[in-house]
Structure 1
């Protein structure tokens, strides 16, 4: 049966869109579900490839026993020097939990291993998973692929006892509460200034927007030089008799210093959003207000700001998401744990501590918080005036 034209058109459309659909599935949807799953486990990325590592069993046994293979004639000579659990953990390099330890104690064929060692059969490279499948009488499936242990809600319970989780979450909230309103208001002011009909306005537009397109790493390094003890800021303050301050090393000043930098870099970016909104406001409204004798301040607060409500909502939502997820500036400039944010703490758990399961739980909590704040913003800040 011939396909209808609409069906053909839909199939062709999906065919052309398939690269984008697959990219979204692989790089967006799958990571979300994976993070949700890992948040209930003790997943450790350092252990994920552990069983695929190759090693030489003979060399490992020689190192463990203190004997070369050609020196040993019988098992009785070496059995007193062989400790199974130490060999598996330290010399083979397998991270064991209680379940796997019990499997090894019950089913590992030590005699076969030592006989093969004496016979010279172990002088070859092999994967750890293959080695375990050869010498385990039963339960070798537990060592074929890495499967994290299911912990249930343990990762989430752990947060209530984790002081750094509380500190990092408080810092993220504090950061957002200060930065979002200030950067939003400053972006509106910059947009109003950029929308003015004055000479050289194109130069000022470009100047305001440059920080938004500059590398975050480069900006962080520039501000590191500004905030350092011999930096420009301390030199300027020394003129007025102030002593040099280590702005980024002092926990009381480090986070506010980062806030100032973030406001400076993002206000110009959001200025473009408000500039587009200003150009949609009919000039007749401003002309009528001026004829009625309205002052510039009243025009700004009674006309400009209310008419920009859709843009304000968008900027506040995007600004909140960005501030709650702030990472790069903290990573580059903060050197103490009292000023870390939740995104940086997720990074440390995942890639420095190897606690990917706990990091996934933290990420899930952060996602829930951002979603809740976004819903509240949409509920209490209406787009229409």
Structure 2
């Protein structure tokens, strides 16, 4: 019995520190937010149980439905663009032999840059007197209000987030590409398969588990985007960038209505969970 229990207990001891941190900083706060969403908790620590009143209020809140639409549109732009850019750069790096580490470091560098610093730099790039509009002016195309026009501001912010965050997914996908046996691709090449056929029939199917992980983390990141919006637009113009996470900040740290802010957070948690499960179902039919 001791022999059979030794390996599981040893493994548990190795993961116990991270498990404790996960419980403290993930599980317990989530349970606390779920309980807080059933109260009218305020900044003074005073609260009373209100049951489902916050959720009923949420359903009648026009601001919530606006923020939900904005969040979904942003995710629909950001996630596919990030995956395509990360996968494309990973495929290129997988073919590079000379100075591979240098190129990998250069492409990963934006990921370790501060979101606030990146937001300030890109806000200058998008301004009327900034880099992009300066180049457009030389081509007589006129200034473009990237951050002032509701139809352009979300794609503009998505580009910033892609530039800032694709490096992490690129490394994950690159590791997935390295795990694919080279003999499969060599055999397909000998059989006359084109590069596109090798990618579609061999690389992409074997990359599905890694691709699923990247889709999940990028979707979660899209729903949690805050820093870039806070620095560059502040939820505007006309709440065109007022996402769910920005609404949580607005209600919690501006209005100090923590109970209602927690309600927004629980709805966001449920949405991310459902989207992740749907992605898993569609991507690999439960075989990941």
Whether these two folds match at TM > 0.5 is yes
1-structure distance, mates of 2:116, 2:243: 17
2-structure distance, mates of 1:7, 1:354: 50
Q: 1:314 aligns with which of 206, 213, 223?
A: 213
How is 1:231-246 mapped onto 2 (pairs within 5 angstroms)? 231-246=130-145
Residues paired across the two proteins, number? 283
User: What residue number does 1:327 align with?
Assistant: 226
**Change in CA separation of 1:310 and 1:26 when aligned onto 2, cut-off 3 Å:** closer
User: TM-score if structure 1 supplies the norm length?
Assistant: 0.68
Whether contact under 8 Å (1:186, 1:267) holds in the other structure is yes
Query: What root-mean-square deviation, in Å, do the aligned CA atoms of Structure 1 and Structure 2 show?
Result: 2.6
Whether contact under 8 Å (2:154, 2:240) holds in the other structure is no
**Change in CA separation of 1:314 and 1:18 when aligned onto 2, cut-off 3 Å:** closer
1-structure distance, mates of 2:5, 2:188: 55
Whether contact under 8 Å (2:173, 2:210) holds in the other structure is yes
User: What residue number does 1:356 align with?
Assistant: 258
2-structure distance, mates of 1:384, 1:286: 23
Gaps of 5+ in 1: 49-145
1:346 pairs with 2:248: yes
1:291 pairs with 2:193: no
How is 1:119-130 mapped onto 2 (pairs within 5 angstroms)? none
User: What residue number does 1:33 align with?
Assistant: 31
How is 1:170-185 mapped onto 2 (pairs within 5 angstroms)? 170-185=69-84
**Change in CA separation of 1:369 and 1:13 when aligned onto 2, cut-off 3 Å:** closer
What is the CA-CA distance between 1:266 and the residue it aligns to?
2.1
What is the CA-CA distance between 1:12 and the residue it aligns to?
10
Larger Rg: 1
1:253 pairs with 2:251: no
Whether contact under 8 Å (2:153, 2:240) holds in the other structure is no
User: What residue number does 1:169 align with?
Assistant: 68
Q: Which moved more, 1:375-384 or 1:161-170?
A: 375-384
Q: Which moved more, 1:148-157 or 1:317-326?
A: 148-157
User: What residue number does 2:105 align with?
Assistant: 206
What is the CA-CA distance between 1:41 and the residue it aligns to?
1.2
2-structure distance, mates of 1:250, 1:193: 35
1:263 pairs with 2:162: yes
Higher relative contact order at CA 8 Å, sep ≥6: structure 1 or structure 2? 2
User: TM-score if structure 2 supplies the norm length?
Assistant: 0.89
What is the CA-CA distance between 1:256 and the residue it aligns to?
0.9
What is the CA-CA distance between 1:338 and the residue it aligns to?
2.4
User: What residue number does 2:204 align with?
Assistant: 305
What is the CA-CA distance between 1:155 and the residue it aligns to?
0.9
Q: 1:374 aligns with which of 260, 265, 276?
A: 276
